[in-house]
Amino acid sequence: MRRLLRRAAPACAAIPRTARTLAAGGAVSMLVAGTTAMLPPAPAAQPAATPGRAAAATPEGSSYHRIFLPDLLVIEPTGLGARQLKKLARISGVGNLIAADGAAIKIGRHRVNVLGVDPQQFRSWTPLATASDQRLWTALARGHFVASKALAKRLRLHPGTRYRVTGGGQQDLIFGGSAPLGVSGIGALVSSRATPRLGLIPGVLALISAPGASMAGLTRAVRAVAGHRATIVSLRREQLPVDRSTSGGRPGSYLELFKASAARYCPGLSWTVLAAIGQIESGDGANPGPSSAGALGPMQFLPSTWQVYGISAFGQTGPPDIMNAYDAVPSAARLLCANGGRTAAGLRGAIFAYNHATWYVNEVLALAQEYARDYG
C-alpha cells in the first residue's frame, strides 16, 4: 500500500466437480490492505481532485474507473446462475455486484483456490495498490496467471516462467506477477477465458457492495436468493479509527499532522481520511500542482474554495497559505467537517463534497482502511 513516510517536517518544512469446489470455510475473509510499500512521490490511481468542483466521471490515465468496497462475500458451491445474480443485483441497497468463476485446482503439484475473472472488471474489487498495478492486469488479460504474495513466495513462482495449471483440463500458463488479491484463501487469478479449459465452476463466488444497507437485512435477502448451501460472509469494515488527542505542539511529520488536524479541527473525523486525501491528491505534497483545473497545494484546493475554508493553523502567522501543509491539511479537515465528516453517517457525503465523484469517495475510503490497518 502507499505508506506514510516519517519526514523531518511536512511539505511546508519540509483451486470430479465436487472435488474441485472452492474451500469456503471460516478462512474466507476480506483483506483490508496489502504489503506493497509505495514511496512518494506515488502516482495517484486517479487524477488530482479539486475540492468544490465536480470531477470527470472517468479518471484520466487509468484503465479502471473506480474502487468498490465489498460488504458481502457469497460462495455457492455449484455456482450462482444468471437469474440468481440478477435477483441479487436488484436487492434493495445493492449498488454493485461482481461474480467470479472458481475451483480448487493445481499449480504444479500444489492445490490452490483459483478464480477466473474479467481483469478489467475484477480489478476494481481488489485492494487499492493491486488495482493500481497496470502491469499485473495487463498480464492477466494476456492469459497469464497472477498469484497472491503468499502463494508466490510459498511456490517460489518466477515471473515470465510457465507452470502447469491442472483442473478439468491442463494449461501451461505464464506467471505474470503477484499482489494482494483481496480475499484470503484465494491463491491465484486467471482470465475468465480460461474457465472452460480449466473446468472452473461458473459463478461460484460473488462480491456485493451495498454501503447503505443494514447488514442483517442484506444477509437475509441474499440468503433467500443464494439458498441454504451458500456461504455468506460479512466484509463490512469496522469504523475508521478516531484520535481525539492533541499534543499542543507543532506536528513534525505528515502522520502527526493528519492526526492533529482531525482532532483539533474536526473532532470525530478519522485522521485516515485526511491521510488518504493527502496521498491521492498530491503524494503528500510531492505534486502540489497546479492541476489542469487550477487546484493547488498538498490538499489540492481550488482558490475559490480556499477563500471559504482556508485557515492559518498550528501557530502559523499571516494569511492562510494554500501551498503550506500546516494550513492546507487543517483546512481540509474544516471543509470535511462542514459537510458532515465528523460522523460515520455523514462521512461519504463529506468526501463527495470534497470532490464530486463516487469513484473518488470509494478510493479515499479504501485507502483510509489500509492506513487504519497499518497505523490505527
Q: pLDDT digits over 191-203, tens only? A: 999 989 999 999 9
State the CB neighbour count (10 A cutoff) for residue 93: 15
- The per-residue pLDDT for range 152-201, each reduced to its tens digit, is 999 999 999 999 999 888 899 999 999 988 777 899 999 999 989 999 99
CA distances from 326 to 3, 219, 321 (A): 20, 44, 9
CATH of 254-375, one of 3.40.30.10, 1.10.530.10, 3.90.1150.10, 1.25.40.10: 1.10.530.10
Q: How confident is the model at residue 237, as a pLDDT? A: 63
Determine the Cα–Cα distance for residues 261 and 270; give it in Å rounded to an integer.
10
Is cis: bond before 159, omega within 30 of 0?
A: no
CA dihedral (119, 124, 128, 134) positive or negative:
positive
Measured torsion, CA atoms of residues 175, 178, 184, 188, in degrees rounded to the nearest 10: -10
* Mean per-residue pLDDT of the chain: 78
Q: What is the DSSP string of 95-147?
A: -EEEEEEEEEEEETTEEEEEEEE-HHHHGGGS-HHHHT-HHHHHHHHTT-EEE
Cell digits for 376? 490505527
Mean pLDDT of 274-292: 81
181 close to 189: Cβ distance less than 8 angstroms: yes
Residue 296, C-beta contacts closer than 8 angstroms, at least 6 positions apart:
288, 289, 290, 302, 303, 306, 322, 323
Give residue limits of the domains in the chain: 70-234, 254-375
Give exposure, 20-31, as e/b (b: 16+ Cβ within 10 Å). bbbebeeebebb
Cell digits for 156? 517460489
Determine the Cα–Cα distance for residues 361 and 363; give it in Å rounded to an integer.
6
Q: How confident is the model at residue 42, as a pLDDT? A: 27
Percent share of the chain, pLDDT over 90: 37
Residue 250, C-beta contacts closer than 8 angstroms, at least 6 positions apart:
314, 315, 326
CA dihedral (47, 258, 371, 234) positive or negative:
negative
